[in-house]
Amino acid sequence: MINLATTAENTWCAGCGNFAILGAIKSVLQSLAEDGFPLENVVLVSGIGCHAKIVDYINVNSFYSLHGRVVPVAEAIKLSKSNVKVIGFSGDGDSYGEGMEHLIFAAKRNIDITMIIHNNRVYGLTTGQYTPTSPLGFKGRSTPFGTKEMPINPLEVMLASGATFLARGTSHGLELLKNIFKEAILHKGFSLVDVLQVCVTFDNLYEYYDKRVYELKDHNPSDEAAAAGKIREWNYNNDAKIPLGVMYKREAETFDGRFVTKAKITDRDPNIREYLKGQI
Ligand SMILES: Cc1ncc(C[n+]2csc(CCOP(=O)(O)OP(=O)(O)O)c2C)c(N)n1
Ligand code: SF4
Ligand SMILES: [Mg+2]
């Protein structure tokens, strides 16, 4: 088995949900390699925050980007090298706050990248300010008397924006996380996995989630109305049960695919020629 460890010192707090995401993605990358996918054709992109350190701990190509800018960097890499699998790691502050507009356009375009959101519902690295998914009343550094606004439901925003693969996992469910990550990465088009990643230091929600989560069964992810219903079941604030798994999935032409033309293969990157073998 390929060893994906690096020599970087891990500085996450003991018990942080990021460890589960790291374990799951390493296992999926190893299984992709075993299936014959060359890991030199994988690029990981991260934002800024506790989540972003994940790329330091995995020994494959990576790009540490700016706060809120995982998506444009990931899109640029995909458009310049079409045979590469681009996986973005972002925080709830990073992508649902600062970078939300990029997510909306990536979903609208159906560009073939995967976004994994470490949604701990707090700004972890900057020590506990509220984010767009923090629950109403959340008390943190910037809101000592509690927030006065409702959280957004990011999966609902993504569904409305045209995303073709949407899923939810938690940092307490490693096997499910592995399955979802693999399916998201193999999906051709824009895929987003919202991971309810617990920040034990600033918003320890393990007990809250453990009481409420359940795995989707007999759900047809290609049924958009059923997906919308499942996505709305829990709104990040109510006491409803929290469905986990693949919520929505459909096939559609990709943005990057539309750029790959016959004209390009005559004089550009040989990788594009390889990518197109058998397709034209
Ligand atoms: C443009 C910009 N704005 C603000 C910051 C400060 N900053 C760094 S990390 C961070 C919060 C990150 O929160 P989140 O994306 O939820 O990641 P987490 O630490 O929770 O994993 C902020 C506000 C920055 N580095 N750059
Ligand atoms: S502050 Fe929270 S998100 Fe950051 S490493 Fe610690 S537990 Fe994890
Ligand atoms: Mg966060």
A 10 A CB-CB count for 124 gives 28
Q: What is the CA radius of gyration of the chain?
A: 18
d(CA 162, CA 157) in angstroms, rounded, equals 9
Q: Which protein residue's CA is at the shortest distance from atom 13 of ligand 1?
A: 123
Q: Which CATH superfamily is domain 18-276 in?
A: Thiamin diphosphate (ThDP)-binding fold, Pyr/PP domains (3.40.50.970)
Q: Which two tokens stand for residue 99?
A: 């970078």
d(CA 130, CA 133) in angstroms, rounded, equals 8
Which one of the ligands is nearest to 49 CA? 1
Question: Does residue 256 register a pLDDT over 50?
Answer: yes
| Over residues 103-112, mean pLDDT | 98
pTM for the model:
0.94
From 11, 19, 51, 120, mutation site for ligand 2 pocket: most ligand atoms within 8 A of C-beta: 120
**Encoded amino acid at 218, one letter:** D
Report the side by side order of strands in the sheet with 213-215.
Answer: 62-64, 42-46, 85-91, 114-118, 191-196, 165-170, 242-249, 213-215
Return the pLDDT at 277: 63
3-state SS class at 116: strand
263: confidence class by pLDDT, cuts 50, 70, 90? very low
Q: From the CA of 94, give the closest atom in ligand 1.
A: 15
Q: Which protein residue's CA is at the shortest distance from atom 3 of ligand 1?
A: 67
